[in-house]
Amino acid sequence: MDKAVEKKSSLRWWILLTVIIGTFLGRLDQTIVNLALPNIISDFHITVSAAGWIATAYILANAIFVPIWGKLGDTIGRKKVYILGFTIFILGSVLAGLAWNLSSLIVFRVIQAIAGSADYPTAMAILAVTFKEQKERAQALGIWSSSFAAASVFGPLLGGPLIDNFGWRSVFLINLPVGILGLLMAMRFINESRSEVKSVFFDWWGAITLGGMLSSLVLVLDQGATWGWLSGLSILCYSLIVIFLAVFIRIEKNVPEPIVDLRFFKIPAFVNTLFNNFVVFMGLMGGLFLLPVFAQTFLGYSATEAGYLFMPMAAAMMLAAPVGGALMGRVQSRYVIFASTLVTAIGLFMFAHLDPKTTAVGLIIPLCVMAFGLGFGMAQRTNIIASVVDPHEIGVASSILALARNVAGAFGIALFGTILANRTNSNILFINQWSVLHSHAVLDIQRYVSLIELKAQIDAYNYVFIISGIVVLIGAFFALTLKLKNERTDITVHVE
């Protein structure tokens, strides 16, 4: 009997490793492709703006299909959906690596994104039903969630050497051997599970309207800076967001089995955790977007050298995840999440003193502080989402959490980028107004203009990180409102 229990316990951790591989591979693919864009532009003879649709198409398709996969996993079986998504993702990766022009690459990236979006909601649901004891489940979810953020760090680190040595197609083809390993592990270790509530209806109209809303939202966040936030196209997207959202809510209130149960948003712990998660990931992804640009533009780092800066960050995040799991049951979740978000905000504030003399250590320390803060609160956040909803809706709930993270990342990048551009322009006007050049030499004028632009940009970066730190700090204090009086510690599901 002891051997059987030990084998079952060991199997649980193999399941955790299996879904970590899938999650890491899917998230890695989102970040690693950005490094390949210059080579793709050169090979296909396309413009930078046209190449931007390679990333935009992926983000759009991924955001749209996350809730659909979550519902299907709860309905027909999470293992089936996980393996189906993984298989199609591998196929899409190979096709993308063989793409012959921009159109074909975008189509194959969409296939990748649709398949990759199956991972997050099904993986979280699989872990939630595999680790039934609350403390152990929180630790497993925390470790798994940290792989999501770690993939964003390793993308630039692994992508540079792959592209330099094997070409841009290698960033897609590398998914084949790693993906096959993850697929075989999923077939071997994961047990089938589904909702105990039998589903006889799929909310296709809800899925379509939700997809329309998310498409419009992600599209304007991704392209708004290029179009202009008050341009005709942006206003059209805003209008579509409102229309689709209104129709979606009306549909979800009346269908027997909604794709998103609106009752979730009547659970204070669910809403507060979702908000806190959104704020933290907005700060994280916005910061990770700006820092490599700063390091390469003002510190003279190469792309590969900039990637090395994030290695300690990944280590800090991995170390923090088990800490959060160990705190489960000892400290109330709201206090852990508060402390986690507070430390993340401190890490962002530490970037508010960047200048051209900043050393690598000056970047690594704040990155590690921010990553540690994010990491030790991850277990609490994911566990709350899994604990406050009915067992048969874990997949749907986790898909909403994934959606919040995806939109938060896009929102953070768009917001930070816009604030940076606007602040730089206003700084140039302000500095120029209070500066005097006592020379008419062409060289002196050029240096004068360059110094003003440099000062304006550096101050803008510092301003952005102050703003982001304040936003995340507000999210920290908001976490104190979390109340988990009715949090469940037992989850029972139908297992084949």
pLDDT digits (tens, 9 = 90+) for 240-260: 999 999 998 898 888 877 777
Q: Is residue 251 part of a domain?
A: no
Q: Which residues contact 397 (CB under 8 A, 6 or more apart)?
A: 70, 264, 270, 385, 386, 389
Q: Which residues contact 8 (CB under 8 A, 6 or more apart)?
A: none
For helices 268-298 and 333-349, give the axis angle rounded to 10 degrees. 20
Q: For 7-45, give one letter per residue: b (16+ CB within 10 A) or e.
A: eeeeebeebbebbbbbbbbbbbbbbbbbbbbeebbebbe
3-state class of 495 per DSSP? strand
Residue-wise pLDDT for 402-449, tens only, equals: 778 777 877 787 778 788 888 888 888 877 777 777 667 767 667 767
**C-alpha to C-alpha distances, 456 to 104, 250, 326, 436, nearest whole angstrom:** 41, 48, 45, 16
Q: Is residue 249 part of a domain?
A: no
The CATH number covering residue 9 comes to: 1.20.1250.20
> What pLDDT band is residue 356 in, cutting at 50, 70 and 90?
confident
Average pLDDT over residues 46-62: 73
Q: Is residue 239 part of a domain?
A: no
Residue-wise pLDDT for 125-181, tens only, equals: 788 778 777 667 767 776 777 676 667 667 767 777 787 788 889 889 988 888 888
Q: Is residue 194 part of a domain?
A: yes
Cβ atoms of 209 and 248 closer than 8 Å: yes
Q: Is residue 394 part of a domain?
A: yes
3-state class of 46 per DSSP? coil
Other CB atoms within a 10 A radius of the CB of residue 201 amount to 10
Single-letter amino acid, residue 56? T
**Tell me, what's the pLDDT at 86?**
87
**Three-state SS letters, 314-370:** HHHHHHHHHHHHHHCCCCCHHHHHHHHHHHHHHHHHCCCCCCCCCCHHHHHHHHHHH
Other CB atoms within a 10 A radius of the CB of residue 177 amount to 10
Q: Is residue 213 part of a domain?
A: no
**Tell me, what's the pLDDT at 381?**
79
67: containing domain:
2-202+257-495
Query: How buried is 492 (Cβ within 10 angstroms: 0-12 exposed, 13-18 middle, 19+ buried)?
Result: exposed
User: What number of residues does the chain have?
Assistant: 496
**Tell me, what's the pLDDT at 301?**
79
> What pLDDT band is residue 358 in, cutting at 50, 70 and 90?
confident
Q: Is the pLDDT of residue 487 over 50?
A: no
Number of folded domains that form the chain:
1
Provide the mean pLDDT of the chain. 79
3-state class of 259 per DSSP? coil
Average pLDDT over residues 12-16: 83
Q: Is residue 263 part of a domain?
A: yes
Q: Is residue 219 part of a domain?
A: no
Residue-wise pLDDT for 273-332, tens only, equals: 888 888 888 877 776 677 877 887 788 877 667 767 777 877 787 788 777 777 777 788
Strand partners, 495: 193
Average pLDDT over residues 212-222: 80
**Tell me, what's the pLDDT at 488?**
44
Q: What pTM does this model have?
A: 0.72
Residue-wise pLDDT for 26-48, tens only, equals: 777 777 776 777 788 888 888 76
**Tell me, what's the pLDDT at 481?**
79
